Chain A
Amino acid sequence: MTIDWTAFTPWHALAGGALIGLAAALLVLLNGRIAGISGVLGALLVPKRGDIAWRVAFIGGLVAAPFVYTLFDALPLPRIDASMGALAAAGLLVGIGTRYGSGCTSGHGVCGLSRLSPRSLVATLAFMGAGFATVFVLRHIVGA
């Protein structure tokens, strides 16, 4: 392992992270809900009366965020290297896995760890470990 100092952006990471924490704080303190994106989105596939509008609003806010960002600064465009086939397979795995495991990076990683939940700690270690292993295999074994 070597640290890639040219790619490391500590101040942006801390500022963006604080905003993510603030968003989770807003949702729980104002609305009493967990900002877990897979859960907020997934429950819309089996909608229950009276439990739809806030979910649509939260997801709408996420999708509209790039537009709001452009009001202040030029938008940094993402680099998506994965092939269409890989994106499709990855999408399926992320969809099934986050629902089966009851959460993703936001629900378990940010909110769960903030709540000091042992369940979320186990989930976070599992998906981070699997993420490290997958990138290791794809970049250094298959791609080497």
Chain B
Amino acid sequence: MTVLASLLAGLVFGVGLIVSGMADPAKVLGFLDLFGHWDPSLALVMVAAIAVGVIAFAVAGRRSRSLLGAEMKLPSARHIDRRLVVGSLLFGIGWGAAGFCPGPALVALGMGQAKAWVFVAFMLAGMGAFEGIDRGRAKMRR
């Protein structure tokens, strides 16, 4: 059941990205071009998503199990450190360079866009490189 719920959530998320226009890098770059001809659409996407999300997470925060009985796994990290800031800055540079973040890239991949395949292949390589480096470091510390 939780697998079906995840599939449904992925589908709804992807359709939301298409409806909002955020699966289109040109539209996302229109938002990031704050100092040119600015398209504020992405800001409204965030507002609507968070308006629904606030209610859902308020309910989720008071439960120890999900409606399907799965363990509630909410992040517990609270510290603001260099990893968080440097990682997010690197992500933002990549986001601005192509107009893709992970979700829209996967949706565009599903549209059969060759350029999205290239982006996702290198994104996976980047994620893999991070796992390799991070594990190596953790081993050295031990």
User: Which residues in A have their C-beta under 8 angstroms from that of B16?
Assistant: 16-23
Q: A residues within 8 A CB of B8?
A: 26, 61
Q: Are B87 and A63 in contact, CB atoms less than 8 angstroms apart?
A: no
How many residues of chain A are within 8 Å of chain B by beta carbon? 113
- Which of A19, A46, A108, A139 is the most central at the interface, judged by chain B CB atoms within 10 Å of its CB? A19
Q: Whole-angstrom distance between the alpha carbons of A35 and B99 in the complex?
A: 20
B25 touches A81 (CB 8 A): yes
> How many chain-B residues does the 8 Å CB contact rule pick out?
119
Find the A residue at minimum CB distance from B39: A7
- Whether A20 contacts B10 by the Cβ 8 Å rule is no
Q: Is the interface of A mostly helix, strand, loop or mixed?
A: helix
List of B residues within 8 angstroms of A139 by Cβ: 33, 36
Q: What residues on A are CB-neighbors of B60 within 8 Å?
A: 28-29, 32
Could you name 15 residue pairs across A and B whose Cβ atoms are closer than 8 Å?
A1-B36, A17-B47, A20-B49, A25-B56, A30-B70, A32-B72, A34-B75, A41-B124, A61-B7, A75-B111, A82-B99, A93-B94, A96-B130, A106-B101, A130-B92
Interchain residue pairs A-B with the least CB separation, the first 10: A61-B10, A95-B126, A65-B14, A16-B20, A101-B87, A130-B92, A21-B52, A134-B96, A114-B53, A91-B122
